[in-house]
Structure 1
Amino acid sequence: MIYAVIVACEVGFWVVLLAGLAARYGLRRPRLGAALLVCVPLVDLTLLGASVLDLRQGGEADFAHGLAAVYLGVSVAWGHSMVRWADARFAHRFAGGPVPSRPPAGGVEHARYQRGQWARHLLAWAVGCALLLGGVALVGDADRSAALLGIAQTWTLVLAVDFLWSMSYTLWPRRAPARREGIDGSV
């Protein structure tokens, strides 16, 4: 059941996000669009509620519950930036907004961007692990919640590798791409 709720919440996230952006830019109803965009976190609360309900009813804490915790952590850490990303593209495409900026491709700015992404990963890990440990406490039985602890351990290892990867850009920055000149000499 939890797998179906995770899939439904992921679909729901994009449906509510697109509905909000369509209302804002397609229907020219910015207040309705903002109200719909504010509802995006309600999708996450639905997943949290379904997971807690399943565990409280005696369900064994398995990989699906761990995946739900990871999903929620990632949603907290990257959800707002995903909404901003989509909003910038809709504004450009449908409302004459500026061309959305891209992440830096090299140099010190790229290294700073990578460190920021790792900080978001750290936030996702902290939220997700808090939910995983909360699930362990809710179940109250180490045998029935071993999967949650395993996911927390694996995620901790992934976070450490990601730290090393993102810090490598600080120690050995990627070179910024060379600027290309057009045929007429313009940049």
Structure 2
Amino acid sequence: MYFFSTTDFPIVSFIIQTLPGLPRSFLLPASIATVGPHFTFYVVENWLGNSIVSDRVDFQIVQSLQTNNLLTATVLANNALADGVSTNIVRATLYDAYGYPSAGQVLRLTAPGQAQHPQFVVTDITGNAVIPITNTVPGVVTLNIYLETDPAINTSAQVVFTVSGQTICR
């Protein structure tokens, strides 16, 4: 990987596998390294030990290599009163294809009936999103959690809402 520290060139770099004989190192302007599906960058070519910066190359991302492949749900607090105020808590954790936590990903939430919960949550730096859920109807509620960018990656958790002095059986 090549890194330039001058102000004339960007300092974010990465390597992409290309066809044989084509340059493999790419340098991204730091100001646009995370912007949209289109951006401009410069190619660093290593010919006979010499590194040079080519003319500008326009690039379009057609497929992301990021694959989030595991979404888990853990009930942290359960058996809340069905009073519309007391809260059950579910923690969703998203891991990438390598088993590392995946931050900044949007999760879509659904639950049947009158259960109240956020429609979307975003995973934090540890891949976690904490989801509060309340209800005014006693019983078991299944909270469904989907990765917004790939709904095939999903999980669910069951929480119980009770009435004071009663136990709900599953």
What range describes the TM-score normalised by the shorter chain of this pair? Answer: under 0.3
Q: TM-score, normalised by structure 1?
A: 0.20
- Which of the two has greater helix per residue? 1
Higher relative contact order (CA 8 A, sep 6+): 1
Q: TM-score, normalised by structure 2?
A: 0.21
- The structure with the larger Rg is 2
